[in-house]
Structure 1
Amino acid sequence: MREKILVAGVVGPTASGKTRLGVALAKRLDGEVISADSMQVYKGMTVGTAKPTQEEMEGVPHHLLDFLDPGEAFSVAAWCDLAREKIAEITGRGKLPILVGGTGLYISSLLNHIQFAPLQSDPALREELQKRAEKEGGEGLLEELRSFDPSSASALHPNNLGRIIRAIEVYRLTGVPMSRQQQEARAKPSPYHPAVVGLAFRNRALLYERIDRRVDEMLENGLCEEAREIYRSGGKTALQAIGYKELFPYFEGECSLTQAADKLKMETRRYAKRQMTWFKREQWVHWLYLDDERNFQAIADEAAKWVEMQGLLCYNNQQV
């Protein structure tokens, strides 16, 4: 039996407290954090992505943060390659790797050991699809994707233009739907034993209240200034990020700051709902509910016990 590597994780919707719990686990279990957030990789996107501060890290090493310029493209395959390297480095030091973030595609692809086919791309086709998206909106492209790959289409929001365009491009170039390619990519067993804790709320209204408060705090902490810099930079990926694009109409004089903030809160709530839908599909997530009658220390203790139990299970399976 191939020896598996224990990889812990903290997942869940935005504003659920993943950063804090990730640090608590690292301190309890001698671990290091690997960020699993598709936007925290970018420099200058700090307030809007809730990137952890040095104070919040509490001395725990954090990896895959703040290393790309906002104009640079980045992919799930590239993140998985980097995450694998970091896992090897961290375990080589005798530490526990802990994935912390809300980008479900990244975490699932890594832990399920998705094998990415060599990248095929057609710049002319992508430009054509991008122009169609600008003219028709995302719904038209999503409907086209639904006609030949309903599985991929059901997992995407009309605003997620990058992934919709990529799914259409893959099918046009290969004749094979992306969902089938992803299914086939799961054929090889994963080298990782996941010990992932998910944070959630039984009463979703409580999560939405936290999201609204977080947006207000971000605006107080300089989100407008940061978003204006992103707006001026013109980086395609950054311009699509929730937390920034909702403020662009305000910069263009099309709405008030209050209206833009309300739009940001609404889009963030929708994003949180999509995150929960994604992570609920993964059987390896152990859910902890923040609105149960427990304080943070009790939740952190339970999370640590769960990870330790999975570590023993991983070890015992390898002794069989």
Structure 2
Amino acid sequence: MSNQLPVINLMGPTASGKTALACELYERGDVELISVDSALVYQDMDIGTAKPNKAEQQQYPHHLIDLITPLQVYSAAEFVEDACNLVEQIHARGKMPVLVGGTMLYFKALLEGLSSNLPSADYAVRAEIEAKGESEGWQAVYEELKTVDPLAGEKFKVSDKQRIIRALEVYKLTGQPITKLQAEQPKNVAYRYSFYNYALLPDRVELHQRIEHRLKNMWKIGFLNEVENLIEKYDLNDNLPSARSVGYRQALDYLKNSDRSLKSKQEMEDKALYATRQLAKRQYTWLRSLQESHQFKTYLTIKQAQEDLRNLYG
């Protein structure tokens, strides 16, 4: 009999309804919820992240929410360490850990481990790379990457800005291509867990409608005011990882750089909607990639998932 600790992973793109499913499982009383969301770790970033409000968090507590300020950084490696510690603690309390969220990099790191000895992010180096992209164009940055790391140049497109930045950052910090370091370094696989993976993958048209409805509600309940308060409290700027979160980037640009006319506001809202739909598209791609290596059960509708998970965990 296996002595691996069972862990339920509940994944899905933004606005797919996964949090509601997790809360339904929590109602049973023998589970604890762990957030797998790189935006929910930030304090005071509530509306734009669709963070459960205080009453909801009291009713359905989530671990790994409100960990740091928007000025701080939280890595995938830190997530894996925190999540593994929580899994152990939750099982020690006789409960089942349910990890729920849409940050697929975190799920991938948990399922497959991380390459060791890659350098941590250096935001001075990143700022230097981004400044070159702004002044000389991203094609020039991409050409620099192809010179120092031809393999990465083959794998990435010029539009893969974050991946290009990370690859150049690693090269500038180590003097070696990231592809070489990744090939040489073993993975740290968490053998002590048995993962049960579930994904909510609704129809794209339905999901796009849900995303549009969510964003309209965010503007209505004061998302712009939230971003203004973040600018005032933290001097939030677009060099911070927190400010790159979908919605915040567009709102920040509008508040700092536009004439704040109705036309500019509508353009900002349209950009935020497009960016959120693109995020969902990337989440679908990540999930399909994970499904190639790991067993999954997927659901097209929330109702289907509710019925199945009730039977599974009933």
- TM-score range normalised by the length of the shorter chain: 0.7 to 0.9
* 1:26–1:33 Cα contact (<8 Å) kept: yes
Structure 2 length normalisation: TM-score? Answer: 0.84
Q: Tell me, in whole angstroms, the C-alpha distance in 2 between the residues paired with 1:118 and 1:228.
A: 36
Name the SS for the 2:107 alignment partner.
Answer: helix
Shift of 1:84: 1.2
Percent pairwise identity:
32
Q: How large is the RMSD of aligned CA atoms in angstroms?
A: 2.8
Q: Tell me, in whole angstroms, the C-alpha distance in 2 between the residues paired with 1:81 and 1:280.
A: 25
Q: Tell me, in whole angstroms, the C-alpha distance in 2 between the residues paired with 1:93 and 1:142.
A: 50
Name the SS for the 1:19 alignment partner.
Answer: helix
Which deviations, in whole Å up to 9, do the C-alpha atoms of 1:202-255 show, x marking residues without a partner?
x31111111111100111111011122234422512221111111233323245
Shift of 1:121: 6.3
Is residue 249 of structure 1 aligned with residue 257 of structure 2?
Answer: no
Structure 1 length normalisation: TM-score? Answer: 0.82
Residues 223-242 of structure 1 correspond to what in structure 2 (within 5 A)? 223-232=223-232, 233-234=235-236, 236-242=240-246
Q: Tell me, in whole angstroms, the C-alpha distance in 1 between the residues paired with 2:159 and 2:191.
A: 28
Shift of 1:182: 7.0
Taking a change above 3 Å as real, the CA distance of residues 249 and 176 of structure 1, as seen in their structure-2 partners, is closer
Equivalent position of 1:317 in the other structure? none
Q: Tell me, in whole angstroms, the C-alpha distance in 2 between the residues paired with 1:80 and 1:306.
A: 26
Equivalent position of 1:135 in the other structure? 135
Amino acid aligned to 1:194: F
Equivalent position of 1:31 in the other structure? 31
Amino acid aligned to 2:306: A
Q: Tell me, in whole angstroms, the C-alpha distance in 2 between the residues paired with 1:126 and 1:33.
A: 34
Taking a change above 3 Å as real, the CA distance of residues 239 and 44 of structure 1, as seen in their structure-2 partners, is same
Equivalent position of 1:211 in the other structure? 211
Using the TM superposition, name which of 191-200 and 135-144 deviates more. 135-144
Equivalent position of 2:182 in the other structure? 181
Q: Tell me, in whole angstroms, the C-alpha distance in 1 between the residues paired with 2:104 and 2:154.
A: 16
Residues 180-199 of structure 1 correspond to what in structure 2 (within 5 A)? 181=182, 184-186=185-187, 188=189, 190-199=191-200
* 1:112–1:190 Cα contact (<8 Å) kept: no
What 5-or-longer segments of structure 1 have no aligned partner?
Answer: 309-320
Using the TM superposition, name which of 257-266 and 133-142 deviates more. 133-142
Equivalent position of 2:152 in the other structure? 149
* 1:36–1:101 Cα contact (<8 Å) kept: yes
* 1:79–1:106 Cα contact (<8 Å) kept: yes
* 1:29–1:96 Cα contact (<8 Å) kept: no
Residues 263-282 of structure 1 correspond to what in structure 2 (within 5 A)? 263-282=271-290
Shift of 1:5: 1.6
Using the TM superposition, name which of 26-35 and 270-279 deviates more. 26-35
The number of residue pairs the alignment matches comes to 299
